[in-house]
Chains A and B, each alone.
Chain A
Amino acid sequence: MNTATFRPSACPACDAAPAAEALAGGAALPDARLLLSVPEAHCAACIATIERDLARMEGVNSARLNLTLKRLSVDAAASVGIQDVIARLDRLGYDAHELDPGTLSMTETDKQGRELLMRLGVAGFAMMNIMLLSVAVWSGAEGPTRDMFHLISALIAIPTVAFSGQPFFRAAFKGVRAGRMDMDAPISFAIILTLIISIYETLQSGEHAYFEAVVMLIFFLLAGRYLDFRARAVARSAAQELAALEVPRAIRLVNGAESTVPVVGLAVGDLVLVRPGGRVPVDGVVTAGKSEIDRSLLTGETLPVYAAEGSALSAGEVNLTGPLTVRVTAAGKDSSLHRMADLVANAESARTKYTTLAERAARAYAPTIPLLSIGAFIVWMYISGGDLRLAVNIAAATLIITCPCALGLAVPAVVTAASGKLFRKGLLIKDGTALERLAEVDTVVFDKTGTLTMGTPAPTNLDAHTDTQSRVALALADASAHPLAQALARALRDRGIRPARVDEVREIPGYGVEGNWKGQRVRLGRASWIGVAPRDMTAAYLGIGAQSDAFTFTDMLRPGAEDVVKGLQAQGKAVLLVSGDAPAAVRDLAQRLGIQDWHAEALPQDKASRISALQDAGHKVLMVGDGLNDTVALSAAHVSISPASALDAARAASDMVLLGRDIAPISDAIRIAGQSTRRIRENFVQSGLYNIIFVPIALLGFATPLWAAAVMSISSITVTLNALRLK
């Protein structure tokens, strides 16, 4: 996919359509390159473990982990499926997500980055060589020696400017044509004017030539550009990575034959098969099969819902136990997923465009550069009585000293340092302005299911059962893929319980698992099926003969949830919990975490309007959510974060993505964001200070090339060092 046209969209199917085609094309190759995101890889041991283990895997030619991008690329035979690799990594203890190599064809971005780096390298080497010659001139070379040094400098500087200065010239040309006045035009003007004057002075055996200053200016500005580019490339690749996380496909049934097609290829009336564990790809009505449906991503409800013939399903729900045949009632533009995307688009357009600090600084500063030098030129023409050469020389010195080297580095250096820090903590920044917006946050709104909780159940009353009951329950739970059954089986095994011998175990989709134990019928499943009254909490019911028993569950807290709420409250932020789930469940969680302000049974619109109301009251809101029901709120909020496990629409709508399982980095992120905004301001003050001191010197005509070079390098270095102070 072309990076220039790439835009993370709230409609996953739109992104996925070309991706799916690319994947279909790639599958024909004999050897495939599989790409996975491994967010938890962080050390030398991780690299060694993962690479060595995968190299031993059947069919794998080679595996290489890129720690910078936390991306694993596996070169393997076509027989090796991505699921095998993910399962293998899971056994090693690493979470991995599939990435779509089609979306991730990073060649365009890579090329741009390398090109910038090459220009930067050329400028750097030219700068060093010219500086060697200039030092000789500054230490007193005179006459023909000086002229020769200047001439050699010119021979190095001219091709360097022509090659390395291109990004500025091109941007300036574009800006001028569009009638904009940004930084590029004065910069290009300064570079070209100073170069021409220096060449002229060299040919006239003049005393001062500014070749090193010109090249140095380009070098520092390119360094700023490159850092800026890196930050944006990381953000862009994050967006791409997220879009690549899911390749929506559906299994279409035509006269009983299955074929896998991209979701966009489906039409109303088609029959679609949804396997247990699969996500419902379209809105539809069940025509055959019985199962249970997990709607937590759409509504925030934790309890699975029973579905049978005639039940209406929405795209994004997850089928849990039995295969379902679904007749498509709405696909593409009409589906509920798309309606949600429209709401998101509305909310996004309502969010006013954020003006970054850098933009504000540039807007204020850009016109002063040419104004000052033109002023200097006119005044000196008047003072010197029409000495054109002197006036132009002073104008050029003013131009080169006012040129915003440090200003160009002020923001990118800080943003690069901050986003690197956050990435190491497991937080990806998708939007360049997110950091500044995050710094202003005073209110944090959390979603419940999947955000503060894992969205996976954990059994609560394991001690309340006899050993026999536990053993029978384990034997039955082992036979099902239902999340409650799996959680129960895992928890029971962890307690060292061994399964009882149960024969004729079979799963009855939509109801539970049934078997034969010591001549008695045993069942694990829904209350009505066992024949007992359901409790008011999530539970799986066990029936042994006429006896019955209930295993109750609670939603597992996401690691770091307690810390993040405490941390935010300690920072003086207001913390809210807004969920679509039932009041009892929301109240429990709010009490457990110490959140006073909670709201249950919120519809997607309610969440968004609550956030809008807060923002209208002057609060800056950070929304943290993962579900489809959060997407509107995520895009309405001042800044938003979603976990990597979130639905792709939610990830697309948010500014930052939490890669790991732990939610604690969020409070750190706000602290780092605040700090980095402070650093940016400090950097502006610093680079402004240099100008206030040295511009008068230049205007008075005392500035020499040595001054220009010294000011430029000192200010750039102090600004960069200040950025690195970020803790």
Chain B
Amino acid sequence: MEVLTILIPVSLFLGFVGLAAFLWTLRKGMYDDPDGDSQRILNPQYDDAPKPVKPKE
């Protein structure tokens, strides 16, 4: 049963990591356009090279 002293904190920690990841995706607006995102994956435009980052004016 001693293993619990490690496993419980580990599981709680992983839970928090998941929660933090979820909150991060939420803040980044990744749930704003689910329909569009599922279609954008079919767009070959940036398949070979990633979208160039525009310098801020």
A43 touches B15 (CB 8 A): no
Task: Kindly state whether residue B6 has any CB partner on chain A within 8 Å.
Answer: no
Task: Kindly state whether residue A368 has any CB partner on chain B within 8 Å.
Answer: no
B33 touches A68 (CB 8 A): yes
A118 touches B26 (CB 8 A): yes
Q: Give A132 to B14 CA distance when docked, in angstroms.
A: 12
- From 1 to 57 in chain B, residues with beta carbon under 8 angstroms from any chain A beta carbon are 1, 4, 8, 11-12, 15-16, 18-19, 22-23, 26, 31-36, 39-43, 45, 54
List, in ascending order, chain B residues with CB within 8 A of A114's CB. Answer: 26
B18 touches A125 (CB 8 A): yes
List, in ascending order, chain B residues with CB within 8 A of A121's CB. Answer: 19, 22-23, 26
A66 touches B36 (CB 8 A): yes
A48-B43, A129-B12, A132-B11 as given contacts; A65 in contact with B36, CB under 8 Å = yes
Instruction: Classify the secondary structure of A's interface with B.
Output: helix
List, in ascending order, chain A residues with CB within 8 A of B45's CB. Answer: 48, 52
Q: Give A66 to B33 CA distance when docked, in angstroms.
A: 6
CB distance from A151 to the nearest CB of B (A): 11
List, in ascending order, chain B residues with CB within 8 A of A129's CB. Answer: 11-12, 15
Set B1, B19, B34: member contacting A122, Cβ < 8 A? B19
Set A47, A128, A152: member contacting B36, Cβ < 8 A? A47
Q: Give A104 to B15 CA distance when docked, in angstroms.
A: 37
Q: Give A156 to B18 CA distance when docked, in angstroms.
A: 15
B36 touches A67 (CB 8 A): yes
* Chain A, Cβ-Cβ closest to B4: A145
B8 touches A152 (CB 8 A): yes
Set A44, A133, A152: member contacting B39, Cβ < 8 A? A44
A118-B23, A125-B22, A128-B15 as given contacts; A47 in contact with B40, CB under 8 Å = yes
* Chain B, Cβ-Cβ closest to A69: B33
List, in ascending order, chain B residues with CB within 8 A of A43's CB. Answer: 39
A47-B36, A65-B36, A68-B36 as given contacts; A125 in contact with B19, CB under 8 Å = yes
- From 84 to 140 in chain A, residues with beta carbon under 8 angstroms from any chain B beta carbon are 114, 117-118, 121-122, 125, 128-129, 132-133
A145 touches B15 (CB 8 A): no
B33 touches A67 (CB 8 A): yes
B26 touches A47 (CB 8 A): no
List, in ascending order, chain A residues with CB within 8 A of B43's CB. Answer: 44, 47-48
* Cβ proximity bits A137-154 to B, threshold 8 Å, 1 near / 0 not: 000000001000000100
Q: Give A538 to B54 CA distance when docked, in angstroms.
A: 55
- From 525 to 554 in chain A, residues with beta carbon under 8 angstroms from any chain B beta carbon are none
CB distance from A111 to the nearest CB of B (A): 12
Q: Give A128 to B14 CA distance when docked, in angstroms.
A: 11
Q: Give A69 to B33 CA distance when docked, in angstroms.
A: 7
B22 touches A68 (CB 8 A): no
CB distance from B22 to the nearest CB of A (A): 5
CB distance from A600 to the nearest CB of B (A): 43
Q: Give A81 to B39 CA distance when docked, in angstroms.
A: 29
* Cβ proximity bits A352-382 to B, threshold 8 Å, 1 near / 0 not: 0000000000000000000000000000000
CB distance from A160 to the nearest CB of B (A): 10
Q: Give A43 to B39 CA distance when docked, in angstroms.
A: 6
* Cβ proximity bits A45-85 to B, threshold 8 Å, 1 near / 0 not: 00110001000000001100111110000000000000000
Q: Give A152 to B5 CA distance when docked, in angstroms.
A: 12
Q: Give A341 to B25 CA distance when docked, in angstroms.
A: 45
CB distance from A107 to the nearest CB of B (A): 13
A121-B26, A122-B19, A152-B8 as given contacts; A68 in contact with B39, CB under 8 Å = no
* Chain A, Cβ-Cβ closest to B14: A129
CB distance from B39 to the nearest CB of A (A): 4
A125 touches B39 (CB 8 A): no
Q: Give A152 to B18 CA distance when docked, in angstroms.
A: 18
List, in ascending order, chain A residues with CB within 8 A of B23's CB. Answer: 118, 121
CB distance from A138 to the nearest CB of B (A): 16
B26 touches A117 (CB 8 A): yes
List, in ascending order, chain A residues with CB within 8 A of B32's CB. Answer: 66, 68
Q: Give A539 to B28 CA distance when docked, in angstroms.
A: 58
A68-B32, A118-B26, A125-B15 as given contacts; A145 in contact with B39, CB under 8 Å = no
* Chain A, Cβ-Cβ closest to B41: A44
CB distance from B23 to the nearest CB of A (A): 6
Q: Give A646 to B2 CA distance when docked, in angstroms.
A: 72
List, in ascending order, chain A residues with CB within 8 A of B33's CB. Answer: 66-69
- From 181 to 234 in chain A, residues with beta carbon under 8 angstroms from any chain B beta carbon are none
List, in ascending order, chain A residues with CB within 8 A of B39's CB. Answer: 43-44, 47, 67
CB distance from B32 to the nearest CB of A (A): 7
Q: Give A67 to B39 CA distance when docked, in angstroms.
A: 9
A118-B26, A129-B12, A145-B1 as given contacts; A68 in contact with B34, CB under 8 Å = yes
Most buried by B among A67, A128, A132, A152: A67
CB distance from B43 to the nearest CB of A (A): 5
Q: Give A66 to B37 CA distance when docked, in angstroms.
A: 9
CB distance from B34 to the nearest CB of A (A): 6
List, in ascending order, chain A residues with CB within 8 A of B8's CB. Answer: 133, 152
Q: Give A65 to B36 CA distance when docked, in angstroms.
A: 8
List, in ascending order, chain B residues with CB within 8 A of A122's CB. Answer: 19
CB distance from B16 to the nearest CB of A (A): 8
* Chain B, Cβ-Cβ closest to A125: B19
Q: Give A67 to B15 CA distance when docked, in angstroms.
A: 32
List, in ascending order, chain A residues with CB within 8 A of B18's CB. Answer: 125
* Chain B, Cβ-Cβ closest to A52: B45
Q: Give A52 to B22 CA distance when docked, in angstroms.
A: 31
List, in ascending order, chain A residues with CB within 8 A of B54's CB. Answer: 61-62
List, in ascending order, chain B residues with CB within 8 A of A152's CB. Answer: 8, 12
List, in ascending order, chain B residues with CB within 8 A of A66's CB. Answer: 32-33, 36
* Chain A, Cβ-Cβ closest to B31: A117
Q: Give A132 to B32 CA distance when docked, in angstroms.
A: 31
List, in ascending order, chain A residues with CB within 8 A of B26's CB. Answer: 114, 117-118, 121
CB distance from A428 to the nearest CB of B (A): 15
Q: A62-B54, A117-B26 are in contact. List 9 more A-B contacts (CB 8 A).
A: A47-B40, A66-B32, A66-B33, A67-B39, A114-B26, A118-B23, A118-B26, A132-B11, A145-B1
Closest 3 CB pairs of A and B: A67-B36, A44-B42, A44-B39
Pairs A–B under 8 Å by Cβ, sample size 20: A43-B39, A44-B41, A47-B40, A47-B43, A48-B43, A67-B33, A67-B35, A69-B33, A114-B26, A117-B31, A121-B22, A121-B23, A125-B15, A125-B16, A125-B18, A129-B12, A133-B8, A145-B1, A152-B8, A152-B12
